[in-house]
């Protein structure tokens, strides 16, 4: 009977010992709670519908012992959310998170509210947005975009006034720009349209840039008016100097073969005519020197009778 004497005290002692052991164990390995951020990747919506805006980051709390949580890997968590039954407008989407580690407890996050819209499309002209200015002394001659229209797909409610823009940085550019640029889909305020897609996604842009002015060597031209005296003809024309320096826009000078001058009148002349004439370049072009000497050689035609008094 001694075994059962003071049974109540013995049981109380055992319970107290277990409590003490549990307290020590908990103090060494307490329960902890950690929070992880999860994202919803590529939600599948019904055909013809699209989610408006970005989906929120899902914060998930996981509870477990300190020892377990020290080695817990976020990749053990799996997030599921069904978008199969969404409709146009606001939708309440339940979120479920599970863990492949059975020693932890996952606190389920609250549902999220997402806006859904119909997928629309719009034909939009591509515009070139120029970043920075050209270097001093250069100017833009022309810009072409191929193709110059794209089709924008996105939420129907966001397609009003949508822009298709390519950004081209002109800083330090001194020649031809010719390359492909990605089309950015922007709203009327210039902000990126979420879920806005361009078809095609890129276009070819060519921008011709030239110096404000260049100097090239051009031939000096000569012109004559009138006819020499009867029995005489123009045997040769010489210009001195034969070339001059012309300064102007590159595209203008590129189409210019020679610089015209004031005409020399040889009417009824029977001897050489030498005259200094002024050069007449087109508008926007200057020349140096501004005058040339024109020598018109007039010779007697041996087969013709000279005019009386010649």
Partners of 207 in the beta sheet? 143, 177
Provide the pLDDT confidence category of residue 24 given band limits of 50, 70 and 90. very low
Is the preceding omega at residue 289 within 30 degrees of 0, hence cis?
A: yes
In a domain, residue 37? The reply is: yes
- The verdict on 170 and 256 lying in the same domain is no
Residue 19 sits in a domain whose CATH number is 2.170.120
* Tokens 């949508």 found at: 162
**Structural domain harbouring 52:** 2-110
Q: State both tokens at 10.
A: 């013995």
Cβ contact 179:143 at 8 Å: no
pTM: 0.59
> Quick one: 54 and 127 in the same domain?
no
Pair (242, 192) in one structural domain = no
Q: What is the CATH number of the domain that holds 244?
A: 2.170.120.40
Q: Based on the fold, state whether residues 222 and 193 are members of the same structural domain.
A: no
- φ and ψ of 134, to 5 deg: -65, 155
Query: Under a CB-based contact definition with an 8 Å cutoff, are residues 222 and 230 in contact?
Result: no
Place of tokens 């305020």: 189
b/e sequence 198-215, b meaning 16+ C-beta within 10 Å = beeeebebebbbbeebee
309 domain residue, yes or no: no
User: What is the domain count for the chain?
Assistant: 3
At 165 the pLDDT is 98
Confidence of residue 25 (pLDDT cuts 50, 70, 90): very low
Contact assessment for residue 162 and residue 185, using Cβ atoms and an 8 Å cutoff:
yes
Residue 150 has pLDDT above 50, yes or no: yes
Residue 272 resides in a domain: yes
Report the range of poorest mean pLDDT among 227-236, 240-249, 301-310.
Answer: 301-310
Which of 214, 291, 277 shows the shortest CA–CA distance to 251?
Answer: 214
Q: Examine residue 305 and state whether it is found in any structural domain, yes or no.
A: no
Q: Is residue 115 part of a domain?
A: no
Average pLDDT estimate for 210-236: 94
Q: Do the domain assignments include residue 306?
A: no
- Does the residue 101 lie in any domain? yes
């Amino acid at each position: 009977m001694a075994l059962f004497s003071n049974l109540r005290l013995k049981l109380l002692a055992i319970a107290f010992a277990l409590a003490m052991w549990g307290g020590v164990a908990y103090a060494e390995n307490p329960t902890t709670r950690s929070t992880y951020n999860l994202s919803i990747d590529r939600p599948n919506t019904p055909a013809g519908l699209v989610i408006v805006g970005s989906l929120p980051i899902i914060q998930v709390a996981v509870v477990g012992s300190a020892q377990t949580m020290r080695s817990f890997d976020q990749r053990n968590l799996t997030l599921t959310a069904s978008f199969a039954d969404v409709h146009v407008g606001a939708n309440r989407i339940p979120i479920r998170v599970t863990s492949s580690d059975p020693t932890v407890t996952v606190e389920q996050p609250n549902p999220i509210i997402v806006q859904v819209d119909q997928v629309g499309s719009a034909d939009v002209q591509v515009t070139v947005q120029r970043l920075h200015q050209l270097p001093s002394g250069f100017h833009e001659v022309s810009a072409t975009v191929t193709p110059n229209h794209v089709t924008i797909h996105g939420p129907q409610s966001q397609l009003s006034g949508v822009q298709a823009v390519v950004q081209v940085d002109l800083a330090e550019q001194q020649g031809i720009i010719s390359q492909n640029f990605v089309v950015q889909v922007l709203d009327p305020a210039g902000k990126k349209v979420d879920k806005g897609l361009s078809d095609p996604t890129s276009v070819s842009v060519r921008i011709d840039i030239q110096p404000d002015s260049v100097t090239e060597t051009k031939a000096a031209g000569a012109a004559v008016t009138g006819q020499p005296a009867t029995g005489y003809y123009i045997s040769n024309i010489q210009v001195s100097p034969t070339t001059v320096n012309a300064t102007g826009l590159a595209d203008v000078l590129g189409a210019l073969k020679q610089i015209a001058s004031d005409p020399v009148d040889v009417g009824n002349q029977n001897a050489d005519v030498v005259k200094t004439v002024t050069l007449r370049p087109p508008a926007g072009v200057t020349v140096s020197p501004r005058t040339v000497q024109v020598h018109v050689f007039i010779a007697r035609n041996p087969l013709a009778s000279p005019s009386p008094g010649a």
